[in-house]
Every structure is written in C-alpha cells, then in structure tokens.
Structure 1
Amino acid sequence: MPPVELSRSGTKMASLSGLRLIMDDIAATTGSATGKEWLNLGIGNPAAIPEVMDTWHRMTAEALVASFGDVSCRYGPSRGLPELLDTIADYFNRRYGWSVGPRNIVVGPGSQMLCFIAAALFTGPGATRDTRLVLPLTPDYTGYQGLSLTPDGITGVEPLLRRQGERSFRYLFDLPALEGLSDVGLMLLSSPSNPAGRCASSDEIQRLISAAESHDVPLVVDNAYGAPFPGIGGQSMAPVWDERVINVFSVSKAGLPGERLGFAIAHEQYIDPIVSFVSNSALHAPQLVQSALAHALRSDVLDTLVASAIGPFYAERRKFVESLLAGTLPEDIAWHLHAAEGGMFCWVWVDEEWFDDLRLYELLKRRGVFVVPGRHFFTDAEHSQGLGRHPQQCFRISITPDPDTIVAGVEVIAAALSDMRAESIRMLR
C-alpha cells in the first residue's frame, strides 16, 4: 500500500511530539509484552490516593443509580448538563464572589480539548491576518504544542532565569518580549505550571491581562493543578475573573484523569463559540461523570477532599522528593531545582556543558527508568535566543509514583549523571 498522504494540518497532528513520547512510555510501562520492570518517573497521572479513589467511586456509583437512564442513555446539551452548569456557577459565585451564570460556562471532554478548541477558534489564518498561539512563559505543558492545526502556529516567550542560592532557580516573565510580538491570537499558560510548578501571582496575571488587552486577544489560564481543585498550589492561587480571561478547570488531577472532563468559565463572547465547537465535533462531554461532579460540588465533598487528602498529600510528597534529590544527586555536579509552588513535578536543570537531556533520557531508558526530556516543554529548544543550551539541560520528574519507585529511580538518575560526567572527562583526555 502506498504511503498515506496527509494534509498540512494532518501532518502537523500526526508528527511525533513530546506528549506522544510520554504516552508511548506509558504504553511501554503498562504493557505485558516487554517482560521488564520499569521505573516511570515521567508519567503525569495523579497519585493513587485511597481516600480520593474511594470518594469518586462512591460519587460515580450514586450517579449511576440516580441518573444513569437520563444521562448515559440519551444525548444531552453541548454546553453541559444543566444541573452541573447551575452548580458550577453557584460554587464559583459563593467561593470567589463572581457573578457568573450558566451562559458563562461550557463543559468539555477534558481541559486539554477545551484549550485545543480555543486555539482553533482564536488562532491561525484569519480574515485580516494570521495569528499564533502564544505561551507567555516557557517551559510550559508539552501538550500545548499539539493544540494548533497550523504548522508553526505556536510560539513561546523564553523566560528570564534567576538563580536562587546554590541549588535553586526560578523563571520570570519577559513581559516586554511578550508585548513586542505582532501575531498574537491567543495567550495560554498553566498555573501552577507543568513542568516547573511555578504559580503566576495575582500581579503577574493582571500584567498578562494588560498584555492581552494590548494585543486585543483572550488569555487562557489553565488551572489543572490549581484552585479550587485539586488545589496543589496553596489557597493563594485563586482564579481571577476578567472579561479577557478564559479560566479552564479539570477534574483529572483531582482524581479522575480517565474520565476526560473539564470546564471553562469566561465571558459569553468566548464561551458561545466554544459551545458550538463542542457541538460540531463531539456533541457533548461524558454525562455520567458530569452528574457525579455536580453532586461532589453541591455536597462540598470535593472541597473536603482537597483540604484533607489531596493538598496535604502533595505538599508532603514534594518535601520528600526534594529532600531525596538533595541527598542523592551528585554534589559535585551543578544541578539546580526550580523553586516550585505547586503541581506534580520536579524540574531539574543540570548546568554542565557535557549534559544533554536526550542523552540522559536514552541512558535512563536502557536502565529501566523514564523521565521527560526538558526540550519538549520549549517551543524552539534548538534555537534559543537568550537561554543558550538551557532548554536541552533540563528534565522533569513526577512526584506521584510510590516512594519506593521514586527512590529507586532517583538513585539510577544519580548514577547516570555520574557516568555522563565521567564519559565527558574521558573524551577530553
């Protein structure tokens, strides 16, 4: 059979990406054909917290009994189940003092799909100009780079890098560079960010809103790791309402990644076309889990989970992993950890000329360990303007696997770093 000829957008979407690499690794670690035990420190699954799993099992079972015939055996509205829309509006109005209603909300099959829809609606070839999706601060979620159907339809603004002590560093927004772009159609960031765990402050969000106003575009804030759930970033991370902002939320990191459910809250001028897109592409999001989420919000069950189980779990786990890295990675190698305020990952920078993230990735994979190479979180890692080789000197570690897996994996990482350094010394002789 001759090779399949794909369209330009088809070629873009069928190409190997950082996200596809992660998913292939997941397949390798969960498949039974390899006959090999893997230590997967790259996976983005939320941790299997018993209390969280038991609660969602109960919520889903109750929804199954109460509303299976109404929500699973018939089509529903593309905007979302009316009971969930009303519950979301009431929840955010009570909690944050907003004044939103069902027409400000759309439920979709996962927050990533909602981001994809926003990119399709607001970027690309236009009536008067072509625009791109802009990530205001990279590194950011590698999955964003698959959101545009247009080749070269995504660009990222490189951060300013600040060292903090011997082993820590932090990224800062380069707002002048963002403001100087000329082809912006949509701005998008995660907060807390994946991979670095950086939380945008209220002041930074306001400055990004000002930049969005100057470009006359919307700003999408992906709260997949933030408030109100799963709340892996502290209570200071309250979402901000503004007519320019499309706030996107997810139940994935709150314990239901496999159900693919998210929702967006924004001004009607942004929500209405998203509803139409959902209708034209998927009809509507899965409805049984919508019913379960409505019950969890109305009964305050989800807030209780965040306060009693999810938040404390990740706070404690981060302390454990950061302490483990400090005590295990070689002291005589210039490695640094991004100062994280939330999220599910540790972001490591190895500031050595001999270090390369893909070489580490391949070496670790041969030894049965998975991490995610850092370059996949930058939009143009090979041609950095101000960061030099930094985008190729980072890697991401997940803090969600069980502690024994993390300990064993970090020990292999430490040995691999020592071996890479020793090899570089031999080559210089």
Structure 2
Amino acid sequence: MQLSSRGRQMTRLSGIRSIMEDIAAAGPDAGDGRWLNLSPGNPSHIPEVVSAWQRLTQEVLHERFVESSTQYGPSRGTSGLVEAVAEYFNLTYGWSIGPENIVVGPGSQMLSFVATALFTGPGDDGRIRPLVLPRMPDYTGYQGLAMDPGGIVGIEPLVIEEGPRSFRYAVDTEALDRQSSMGMMLLSSPANPTGSSLDSAELKTLIETAERHDVPLVVDHAYGEPFPGVAQTRIAPVLHSHVINLFTFSKAGLPGERIAFAIGPAELIDPMVSFIANSSLHGPQLLQATAERALTTRQMDVLTTRHIKPYYKAKRTMAEALLTEALPERLNWRLHSSDGGMFCWLNIDHEWFDDLELYELLKRKKMFVVPGRHFFVAPLDTPFLRTHGRRCVRLSLSPNEWAVAEGIDRLAGALTDMRAERGGA
C-alpha cells in the first residue's frame, strides 16, 4: 500500500534511528562490555536514585494498583499527579496555576509532537507554518516532529569562542527576525546536546518573537530546573501567555516509564488534552502515582540536590580533564561550555575532519558516538552547516567512569588515525 506524504515524512530514517539500528546490528556482543556505547542519552544508574524510585514504585504498587492500573483515567493526567504538580510549582516559584494549566503525557518528546501537530503545518491558506528551532544544534528527536515536508526550520547560531578549548552558541536574533513564517518555536534549555541554557536576554527575545507572530514558544526543561538539574540553568521557568513549559521524569531516573507534563496557559493546554484523549486516551497511571509521591514528599528535591546535580557536575569535570589530557596537542578542538550535563559536545575544526567518518572509524574500534550533523536541520547546504555542522560530535557521560575514560582514549586514537589517513597537518 502507498504511504501518504505525511506517512513518508514520518517514516524517513532519522539520525538517531539509524544509530540505534547500527547498535542493534552489532549483534549480541554489543552489550557484553567489549563495545563502548557513548551514544544514547540514558541517565546514569545512580544507586541512590535507582533505590528511591524502586521504593516509591513498590509503595504505590502495594497501595494503589487497583485504582491506577485496572481502570481508565482522565486524559489530562491523574488528579493526584496534576494537583501535586500545581502545588509543587506554586510553592517553588510562587505561581498560581491550577489543573487547567497542566497536562500529563507519555514523555516530553510526545508532548512536543502533540504541540507541533496542533500549532504547525498547513494553514487555512494552504501555506505551511513551520516548526522553528530558534537555536541549533538541538535535540535530534525534534527533527521527526513535523509531519509535512518543509515543516521544520532551524536557525543557525552565533558561535562565540571563550578560550582556546571552549566555545558556546547564542541565539542569532537577527536571523530569527528574518524568519517570516512560523507556527511554533521549540527548544531545549539546558540544551541537548550542548548543555547550554538560555540567558534572560535570549528568553526575552524569544517571548517577544512568539508574541509578534502570535505562536507558542515551547521550552523543554528535560535537563534543567527544578528537576532533574542534570545541567545547571541560569534562569527559572517562566509563566507567560505564549509559553508552554515541558518537564519530564526521564533524566531524573525514569526514562522507560515515559512520564512528562506540560505547564502553560489554559487556552494552549486544553487542545493538548483533547489531542491525547483522541490519540492515546491518557498516559500510564501507575507511574503517575509514583511521580506524584516523589513530588508531594519532596523526595524529588532530595534526589536532585544531593545526588543527580553533584553526580553530573563531577562527571563533566572528569571528562574535561580527560579530554585535555588525551586529545592531540596540535588538534584544534573546542568543548561547548556547560556546568554539568549528560554530554560533551566537541567541535573539531579541521578540513580533514568529518563526523560520519569518525563515527565509522570508531565503530571499527568497538565504540559508538553520535555524529554532530544529526542535531542540525537538514539539508546541510549552507556554508555554516557544510563546515561546522559536520565537524561536531556528541559524547554521552552516562556510562561509568571507566567507560568514559576508555572512550575518550579511543576517540583520541581515532582522531590521530583520521588526521594521518586524510593528510592533516
């Protein structure tokens, strides 16, 4: 049977899907310790965090299984979790939100998809109002959200060098102003893959742009405040008539359970509730009860401040030291600045470097990383994307310390080999 145009768009081989298929194709020995997987974004198994979620889940399984798992519930989310979210954010930030401002869904990526489906695509005039990513690179999963060809636009960033081995991206406000059409803006902050956070000036500009175009600005806080705090952030989430905030329990230790929620104005949240009702009825309820308990007891704050934040900050510090020690001295490399985070985002600024060639070379060394081009919107046909967009790589810091250290050693060896093979100076 023939797929529709939207079907073809949604079934194309994305960057992350191709990487995951390669990992599966490596065979049974891909998980036996001989392979180093510095590719996916699974959170680390921090013992205290794992233990806390096991205990909370066992408690709700014993006390609330029947009410949670043997009957349908509200599409907005269980009343217990929705009320817990409202109370938690009202106490933490001095907000005055209620259930009408909240919707629970199966992961922040799915909530991003729901918002994209609702606010982007063909308008009444038939013209595509695209999803705009205002600061590339950004989470590669966003690139599969737009169901229409030409339905996603990425704004190239400003690159600011901060030292011989450090740089950061900033929102190019002039380029954003030149974008004449949009249906929604979406970005992660702190960002995957870089760990960078919006500053107050950038957020102000994005909100003003959303107001001018009368579109939602969706800010995905999957790595930020108030939890899980995987990467430190400079500003708190904001309530605004044009802003939808996304939060998830995935990076706080429950990625497999797909529990996330959105907070925003009722007139934007209500269509998302209807979408979930019409597509999946509601999210899984037993683990919503677990998340509710983590919020009402403030166990979530304990896990964030005592365990998750310090763990990733220390892991990042370790990785920076190892990269400085291991990478060839004559190599022109820079690491995107970040205070913590689950990833290292490296730019290798040489004509002989290509991210896909590095990926293939590392596979021969029994190691996986993610080529940087997968975090930019294709096609990579501008001068910036043909160079910078193909000269980056993302390393995951989730594996244990030995795996991260060994992975950085193999990376250094692969870069030395690549430079020699391609005639680099």
> If the TM-score is normalised by the length of the shorter chain, which range does it land in?
over 0.9
Q: Which residue of 2 aligns with 1:120?
A: 117
Unmatched 5+ residue regions in structure 2? none
Q: Distance in 2 between matches of 1:119 and 1:94?
A: 30
Residue 73 of structure 1 deviates from its aligned partner by: 0.6
| Greater Cα shift, 237-246 or 284-293 | 237-246
Q: Counterparts of 1:306-321 in structure 2 under 5 Å?
A: 306-321=304-319
Measured against aligned partners, the alpha-carbon deviations of 1:350-373 in whole angstroms (never above 9, x if no partner) come to 000000000000010111010000
The letter of the residue matching 2:339 is E
Alpha-carbon distance in 2 for matches of 1:139, 1:110: 21
Kept in 2: contact 1:79–1:105 (CA 8 A): yes
CA distance in 2, matches of 1:387, 1:151: 20
Change (3 A) 1:101 1:187: same
Whole-Å separation in 1 of the counterparts to 2:152 and 2:161 = 28
> In the alignment, which residue of structure 2 is the partner of 1:411?
409
Moved more, 274-283 or 335-344: 335-344
Q: Which of 75, 80, 84 is 2:81 aligned to?
A: 84
Q: How does 1:139-154 map to 2 (within 5 A)?
A: 139-154=137-152
The gaps in structure 1 that reach 5 residues or longer are: none
Which residue identity lines up with residue 249 of structure 1 in the other structure?
F
Q: Secondary structure at the match of 1:347?
A: strand
Q: For residues 153 and 112 of structure 1, do their structure 2 counterparts lie closer, same or farther at Cα, with a shift above 3 Å needed? A: same
Aligned residue number for residue 47 of structure 1: 44
Shift, 1:241, TM fit: 1.2
Give the Å deviation of 1:384. 2.2
1:24 deviates by 2.2
Distance in structure 2 (CA, Å) of the matches to 1:195 and 1:225: 11
Question: SS where residue 278 of structure 2 aligns?
Answer: helix
| Counterpart in the other structure of 2:65 | 68
Do the aligned partners of residues 402 and 25 (structure 1) sit closer, same or farther apart at CA in structure 2, a change above 3 Å counting?
Answer: farther
Q: 1:6 to 1:121 in 2, by over 3 A?
A: same
Change (3 A) 1:33 1:422: closer
CA distance in 2, matches of 1:224, 1:117: 16
Superposed, which structure 2 residues align to 1:116-195 within 5 Å? 116-128=113-125, 129-195=127-193
Change (3 A) 1:26 1:310: farther
Residues 23 and 424 of structure 1: is their aligned pair in 2 closer, same or farther, counting only changes over 3 Å? closer
Counting aligned pairs with the same residue, the percent is 53
User: What SS does the corresponding residue of 2:422 show, helix, strand or coil?
Assistant: helix
For 1:89, give the aligned amino acid.
A
CA–CA distance in 2 between the matches of 1:200 and 1:291? 32
After the TM superposition, which residues 277-426 of structure 1 pair with which residues of structure 2 at under 5 Å, given as runs?
277-380=275-378, 382-386=380-384, 388-425=386-423
2:207 maps to amino acid: I
- Is the contact between residue 187 and residue 218 of structure 2 (CA under 8 Å) also seen in structure 1? yes
Task: Tell me, yes or no, if structure 1 residue 259 matches structure 2 residue 257.
Answer: yes
Q: TM-score, normalised by structure 2?
A: 0.96
Tell me the residue number matched to 1:104.
101
Contact 2:316–2:341 at 8 Å: present in 1 too? no
Could you state the TM-score of these two structures normalised by the residue count of structure 1? 0.96
Distance 1:20 1:339 in 2: 27
Q: Within 1, Cα distance between the matches of 2:414 and 2:341?
A: 26
| Larger deviation, residues 377-386 vs 194-203 | 377-386
Alpha-carbon shift at residue 381 of structure 1 (Å): 5.2
Distance 1:84 1:192 in 2: 24
8 Å contact from structure 1 (residues 381, 391) kept in 2 = no
Report whether the alignment pairs 1:9 with 2:10. no
- Distance in 2 (CA, whole Å) between partners of 1:107 and 1:357 is 37
Matches of 2:58 and 2:94, distance apart in 1: 32
| Cα distance in 2, alignment partners of residues 304 and 236 from structure 1 | 20
- Pairwise CA distance, 1:412: 0.9
- Matched residue type, 1:107: V
Residue 239 of structure 2 is matched in structure 1 by 241
Instruction: Tell me the amino acid that sits aligned with residue 6 of structure 2.
Output: S
Aligned equivalents of 2:203 and 2:238: distance in 1?
A: 8
Partner of 1:58: 55
Q: For residue 203 of structure 2, what is the amino acid of its counterpart?
A: I
- Code of the aligned partner of 2:280: A
C-alpha contact (below 8 Å) 1:139/1:378 kept by paired residues: yes
Residue 38 of structure 1, CA deviation: 0.8
Question: Structure 1 residues 238, 247: CA separation in 2 closer, same or farther (over 3 Å shift)?
Answer: same
TM-superposed CA distance for 1:385, in Å, is 4.4
Asked whether the 8 Å contact 2:313–2:341 carries over to 1, the reply is: no
Q: CA deviation at 1:27?
A: 3.3
CA contact (8 A) 1:373 1:396 kept: yes
Deviation of 1:28 after TM superposition, in Å, equals 4.9
Q: Distance in 1 between matches of 2:296 and 2:270?
A: 25
Contact 2:218–2:243 at 8 Å: present in 1 too?
A: yes
Are the counterparts in 1 of residues 247 and 262 from structure 2 also a CA contact under 8 Å? Answer: yes
Aligned residue for 1:209? 207
The amino acid across from 2:253 in the alignment is G
Judging changes above 3 Å, is the alpha-carbon distance between structure 1 residues 352 and 32 closer, same or farther for their aligned structure 2 residues?
Answer: closer
Q: Structure 2 matches for 1:213-228, cutoff 5 A?
A: 213-228=211-226
Q: Distance in 2 between matches of 1:310 and 1:101?
A: 28
Amino acid in the other structure paired with 1:185: G
Cα gap change, 1:158 to 1:384, in 2 (>3 Å): same
After TM superposition, give the deviation of residue 232 of structure 1 in Å.
2.0
- Root-mean-square deviation over aligned CA pairs: 1.7
Looking at structure 2, the residues matched to 206 and 396 of structure 1 have their Cα atoms a distance apart, in angstroms, of 29
Deviations 1:26-63 (A, max 9, x none): 53578458878210011100000000000000111111
